[in-house]
Amino acid sequence: MKIKLEPFEIQMACDVATRRLVENIKMGKRFSYGFKGSDEKLLYQNIMGCCAEVAFAKSQNKYFNGSYSDVYSRYTDADMQDGTEVRSQKRKDYNFLLLRPGERKAKYVLILDEGNFEFTIVGWFPFVKEMPERLTNFGHPNRPAAYKVDIKELYDIKDL
């Protein structure tokens, strides 16, 4: 399923992403699992990740509440109000869903950023228990290990 964001939707995602980023800075938190990129990459990934959340909400005709924490505490709610988590990646030759050990047990949706604020809702996966057989560091010994779920293993988004 392909979704194109309109300018007002991009603006909303940017506003939410920058609020989340600033709140994390106030709390001394870093973005992502073992992230070691530049501030520019951090800002870009926050904005595009939030755009993917907006794209998912649009694809499902669901309300996007733009949630973030402004009370110096860890934000514990899911990306979407129904407990669904959204994961996004830039499209490349080989995409897959990456899940971190110890993460919230939930339904995870994979969304691919096609460029030009167009997104593909690929599918979803029920993360209900730890999966040691999927654990990998992707050949990077300094990167924390994570679970890898191939696209062909994702459930149809219509069945979410």
Burial tier of 142 (Cβ tally within 10 Å: 0-12, 13-18, 19+): exposed
Confidence of residue 103 (pLDDT cuts 50, 70, 90): confident
Does 41 score more than 80 pLDDT? yes
For the residues 14-20, what does the mean pLDDT come to?
90
Q: Does 137 have pLDDT greater than 60?
A: yes
pTM, to two decimals: 0.88
Distance CA 41, CA 100 (A): 20
pLDDT tens per residue across span 104-123 = 899 999 999 999 999 999 99
How many CB atoms are located within 10 Å of the residue 44 CB?
A: 14
Band the pLDDT of 32: cuts 50, 70, 90: low
Q: How many residues does the chain have?
A: 160
Contacts of 74 (CB under 8 A, 6+ apart): 27, 29
Lowest average pLDDT, out of 35-49, 86-100, 102-116, 119-133, goes to 35-49
96-99, strands of its sheet edge to edge: 96-99, 146-150, 135-136
Q: What angle do CA 108, 109, 115 make, to 5 degrees?
A: 140
Name the residue type at position 41.
Answer: K
Distance (Å) of CA 2 to CA 23, 51, 88, 104: 31, 13, 14, 27
Q: Could you read off the pLDDT of 56-88 as tens digits, one per residue?
A: 999 999 888 777 655 545 556 677 777 899 999
Residue 141 has pLDDT above 90, yes or no: no
Domain residue spans of the chain:
2-60, 84-159
